[in-house]
Structure 1
Amino acid sequence: MSDEQKRRIELLLAERISLEGICRVMEIKAHQLYAYMDELYADIPADLACSAAEAADIELRCIDCETDELWSFVLRKTNKQWLWLALDRASRQVVALHIGDRGATGALGLWQALPEPYRQQASFHTDDWDAYKQIIPVHQHRCSQYKQHTNHVERFFCTLRQRASRLVRLSLSFSKKLNRHINSIRFVVTHYNLSLQL
């Protein structure tokens, strides 16, 4: 594939277009697309290109995060995979994400994915889900039964569903393999974080 084709595929992967649709538009075979996707996903930075996590003065400011979880599935609806996400309130960038079950194990996966300054100093606004209470230290946890304290992350989930076809409800576009599911979501989130920096 040419560099121009690769650039266009990167843009198309960050939109809500099925992989078959990308193949038709770009006039390429599925195996070519999958090979390039694997190459592209291998280069996703571990920090999701979040500049908020790299701020030099992070110790000098109050850090607020909103966290929530989003239902998804891989291959069949009985194979539920929950997307756990932490969003920095000030920058609106996604700081960390984890895909797993909806229990304490999933919450622990998100906690471990957070950059160290956030785990040490941030306040976390969550809904009343028990898994958060088991993982987030009490002095950092701001639990609320109302959506107003997690409205930014809820709004981001709407954006994510608009950009990642495999997260759309009642869609025929779904992941068949867990690693592709995780990498495609990480790619869209990284693309979103980079767009906020511009």
Structure 2
Amino acid sequence: MKNGRTSSGKQNFKCKECGRQFVLVPRHQPQSQEKKIIDKLLLEKISLAGIVRATGVSPRWLQYYVNKKLALVLRVVNVTFKKKGKLTLQCDEMWSFVGSKGNKQWICRLAIDTRTKEIVGVFIGSRDLLGAKGLWDSLPPVYRQCARRDVRAERLYTDFWQAYSTIFPTKRHKAVAKNSGLTNYIERFNNTMRQRIARLGRKVLSFSKKLSNHIGAIWYFIHHYNASLSC
């Protein structure tokens, strides 16, 4: 059925069954090259409204495109092959919010390999014992195997959050203060994510309204970051 007109003056329609609004002849459908540019812009600290202004695509099309793209992002971290031996990890967590600051989300549990700088463990969920276990389970088998064996094989450095000491092997885990310098890499990566992902800013208007897109955007950046290390 007819449903008013768009900002450009075209007749707008609304589906009676699903409620979707559309025009019969869209003014502009982005081509593959434009989509590649949008994919790159999604990795920078720019809001969806900013991408609309920069590329000229319609806000509705961009939202549908982002929803579909982030839903397909792999939720498993990809890392290069590692041999058993001395491996050192730094782990940390960070918070953000979805919808409003009242909906605080501790959604990032990260582990970084200090030698390769790869993100080798990711868990997005609650800040509790389940979150620490999720991070441990997300580590590739070689890291978990080394941590359980030779005391010289691996070290796991974290802050003093109690859940880490409950889940991580006692002989390999060491809780340290921030001024020790033993968690510098992961803390720097946390800062990188806040600088590159607009959704993670503490005082921004480009925060996520949908949790699934929030999670997808984080995974999308992590996959890009790991891939860039091998370039």
Q: State the TM-score, normalized to the length of structure 1.
A: 0.90
Could you list the structure 1 runs, at least 4 aligned residues long, displaced by more than 2 angstroms after superposition: 34-51
- More moved, 109-118 vs 31-40: 31-40
- Residue deviations 1:140-192 (CA, integer Å, cap 9, x gap): 21221244110000011111111000111211111111111100011111111
How far, CA to CA, are the matches of 1:31 and 1:62 in structure 2? 50
* Partner SS state of residue 138, structure 1: coil
SS at match of 1:161: helix
> Quick check: 1:193 aligned with 2:193?
no
What is the CA deviation profile of residues 75-118 of structure 1, one whole-angstrom value per residue up to 9, with x for unaligned ones? 12122211111111111111121222222121122122222222
| Matching residue of 1:48 | 77
Hey, what does 2:12 align to over in structure 1? none
Deviations 1:101-138 (A, max 9, x none): 22212112212222222222243110111110111121
Give the secondary-structure state (helix, strand or coil) at the position aligned to 1:139.
coil
Does residue 144 of structure 1 match 2:179? no
What pairs with 1:42-121 in structure 2 (closer than 5 Å)?
42-51=71-80, 55=81, 57-59=82-84, 61-82=85-106, 83-121=108-146
Identity score, percent:
40
Structure 1 position 14 matched with structure 2 position 39 = no
Q: Distance in 1 between matches of 2:77 and 2:59?
A: 26
Moved more, 93-102 or 126-135: 93-102
Structure with higher helix content: 1
Count of matched residue positions in the alignment of Structure 1 and Structure 2? 193
Aligned pair partner of 1:183 in 196, 200, 216: 216
Aligned to 1:29: 58
- 1:30 Cα deviation from its structure 2 partner: 2.4
Aligned residue identity for 1:155: R
- 8 Å CA contact 1:47–1:95 kept in 2: the answer is no
Higher deviation after alignment, 170-179 or 39-48: 39-48
SS at 2:221's partner residue?
A: helix
Q: CA deviation at 1:43?
A: 4.4
Q: Which protein is bigger by CA-based radius of gyration? A: 2
Task: Name the structure 2 match of 1:125.
Answer: 157
Q: Comparing both chains, which one has the higher relative contact order based on Cα–Cα distances under 8 Å and sequence gaps of 6 or more?
A: 1
1:170 counterpart residue number: 203
Indicate conservation of the 8 Å contact 2:78/2:226, yes or no. Answer: yes
Task: List gaps (5 residues or longer) in structure 1.
Answer: none
How far apart, CA to CA, are the structure 2 residues paired with 1:106 and 1:80?
A: 15
Distance 2:73 2:197 in 1: 16
2: CA distance between counterparts of 1:138 and 1:48?
Answer: 25
Check the 8 A contact 1:68/1:127 in 2, yes or no. yes
Aligned with 1:17: secondary structure?
Answer: coil
Return the alpha-carbon distance in structure 2 between the equivalents of residues 172 and 30 of structure 1: 16
Change (3 A) 1:48 1:64: same
Q: CA RMSD in A?
A: 1.6
